[in-house]
A = this chain, B = another copy of it.
Amino acid sequence: MPSGRKGKVAAGTNLLEAARELGVELESICGGRQTCGKCQVIIEQGSFSKHGIVSQPEHISAPTPLEQEYDREHSLQGRRLACAAEILDDLLVTVPEESQAHKQVIAKAATERVIEVDPAVKQAYVEVQPAKLGDPRGDWERLAQALEEQWQLTALEIDPQTLTTLQTALREGDFAVTVTIWQGKEVLRVQPGYQEGVYGLAVDVGSTTVVAHLCDLRTGEVLATQSAMNPQVRFGEDLMSRISYINSEPQGLTRMNRQIIQTLNQLAEKAAERAGISPGDITDMVVVGNTVMHHILLGIDPAQLGVAPFALATFSEVDMKARDLGLNLNPACRVHTLPLIAGHVGADNVGVMLAESPREHAGISLIVDVGTNAEIILGDQEQVLVASSPTGPAFEGAQITHGQRAAPGAIERVRIDPQTLEPSVKIIGMEDWIETGSPPPGMKATGICGSGIIEAVAELFLAGIINSRGHFLPETAERSARLEIDGTAAAYTLVDAQNSASGSTITITQNDIRAIQLAKAALYAGTKLLMDHRGIQHVDRVILAGAFGTFIDPFHAMVLGLIPDCDLEQVIAVGNAAGDGARLALLNMAQRRKAVQLARSTTYVETPLEKTFQDEFVAALNIPHSDHTFPHLAGLIPEPSLDKPRRRKKSLRSKITADR
């Protein structure tokens, strides 16, 4: 139990061997030496007619002296060590979860799911024949023989750097060592005696933020998560400006590469410190990132990604040594980068697919990861399509008059009362909403971040201050002093001078609205392209990935026409799905293979090649859209034909307010 496997074995067989014969994988590090305590099992007692078994205490051998010693030191609480207990007659045995070889972890995602822990690097304890005169073999050959005899590992190699530590480790451990092995192929580490602990790092190198999860590769547990600003930001906020910097500066690539490596070293060091281990204990690493981050990290000039046809150096997964990147982890630590899909669709998107696995969900999933480019994944159990759409940096607060990055002081949420046309905002770093016309409650606003500008434009539309074409309505100016119209220039004062950190008003201008319209139209047009390719009219769920998605209000996103019509309950923000994908690939080898399958089976739709893209883009400029209807917003937004404000259904409005 709980696998339900059943079978006959010779009397006297120990439970560990019996489990292996029946295909039940039990945990074991010491290799059956009754010392590691990983293979504990529960012997059920009584008559189990359902199984046709009478399981009695005398059907199993008495505890061995070694087992008793383990019990005294660690308390077995009635359990038995499977490697010590011999089967004498019928038994019903339960394998507790912690003794199962392939532990399972729950993957956080739009839908929680369980994955097995089956990492690339694993430990094995071995006892090696000591060196002796007359045996000319080297220590490595004796270790390899022990690994073959005790762990059935053949054709092993040893990293040349690890070879330099072998002789000392063997002698310190009195010829008993714990070996860390990569994919059953290469010895990465040799530690004296019996040691527990094998660790890996899952890293998402974002354009703005770098996140590292330090994982225990035996339990799947995340021991520490550290994040830092990508230091390349100083060379350019968006990808194109970083490529330009590299094109123009002779040392640009080296500089950016060194900085990101340095950041990864710092993250690893901090994470290790928090987990109480050393960076040298880290023997595996999985990295995701967009194509430009991926190339710069590997020391590849991203110049080709800046010009058509956007040629990647490689779109395959890359396996290498961490030391070749200058990473200060274990000297033999491995690095695996997830595969890429196309010039603008990177390993981060493959990570997102791995985490959200559209192929494993009924119905059509739309996954949107918004950055400077928006990557759009549309998939179901049959097919997955992906496109990249040039939204520009408006969604990140760039090219917006008072735009800024999401940081303390930035306006992240906006409401405009449709009656009074008075705004209230929520500022990052403050709990309460602020009525921006009232005296300051302590913290002043510094600008508007991406989610703030999206809500602001949607609220301006909902309040009837702008029409579906995004134009300020002159008649509204008569109702509120916040709206000033001066020819083509027009602006809505979101924050009064008294509530602004700079002492000047924070406004939303006609140009800001236009910038958001261009960005959202690009995103919608990309989505529409994929829907047309797939021949579908609606999606069943929308997943907003990335930090941006976390702060976006699904209702406002849909009001703006950023995402297609969908049940609002099925619009889900999943946070750093790319990083979650990296973690899955770190914990489970099958996930790495799946990543390759996903990357290679995904249909990439090149937006610039699509003739209809421009038409779709133009049609998507209106709020929410010129042609498409949004049944799930029925009654909640002004009719497209009307430019007059209309009150939303009270019920949903109050629901959303209550959600705050």
Contact = CB atoms under 8 A, between A and B. Distances in A.
Interface in A621-643: none
A134 B609 contact: yes
Given A135-B309, A309-B133, A342-B136, A314 B163 contact: yes
A63 interface: no
B606 A134 contact: yes
Contact of A313 (B138, B300, B324, B342): B138
A647 to B, nearest CB: 48
Interface string A109-137: 00000000000000000000001111111
Interface stretch (A73-81, A97-105, A315-323): A315-323
A12 interface: no
Given A136-B604, A138-B340, A301 B168 contact: yes
A160 B298 contact: yes
Contacts of A303: 167
A308 interface: yes
Contacts of A139: 304, 311-314
B134 A316 contact: no
Tallying the copies of this chain within the complex gives: 2
A140 interface: yes
A313 B299 CA distance: 34
A141 interface: yes
A160 B318 contact: yes
A314 B164 contact: no
Interface string A599-614: 0000010101100000
B167 A131 contact: no
Given A163-B298, A164-B299, A133 B316 contact: no
Contacts of A316: 138, 140-141
A343 interface: yes
Interface in A443-457: none
A123 to B, nearest CB: 21
Contacts of A570: none
A606 B137 CA distance: 13
A141 B314 CA distance: 6
Contacts of A571: none
A140 B604 contact: no
Contacts of A312: 136-139
Contacts of A491: none
Contacts of A299: 161, 164
Contacts of A304: 131, 139, 167
A373 B41 CA distance: 58
A124 B319 CA distance: 24
Nearest to A163: B313
A202 to B, nearest CB: 20
A294 to B, nearest CB: 11
A314 B140 contact: yes
Contacts of A606: 133-134, 136
Contacts of A345: 136
A9 interface: no
Interface string A338-363: 00111101000000000000000000
Interface string A56-90: 00000000000000000000000000000000000
A349 to B, nearest CB: 12
A166 interface: yes
A211 to B, nearest CB: 23
A505 B403 CA distance: 93
A47 B158 CA distance: 61
11 contacts: A134-B309, A134-B606, A138-B315, A139-B314, A140-B313, A160-B298, A160-B320, A160-B324, A161-B324, A164-B298, A167-B303
The 5 closest A-B CB pairs, nearest first, are A131-B311, A136-B342, A138-B312, A140-B314, A138-B314
Given A139-B312, A160-B324, A167-B311, 17 more contacts: A133-B606, A133-B609, A134-B606, A134-B609, A136-B341, A136-B604, A137-B312, A138-B315, A139-B304, A158-B314, A160-B298, A161-B299, A161-B324, A163-B313, A163-B314, A164-B313, A167-B304
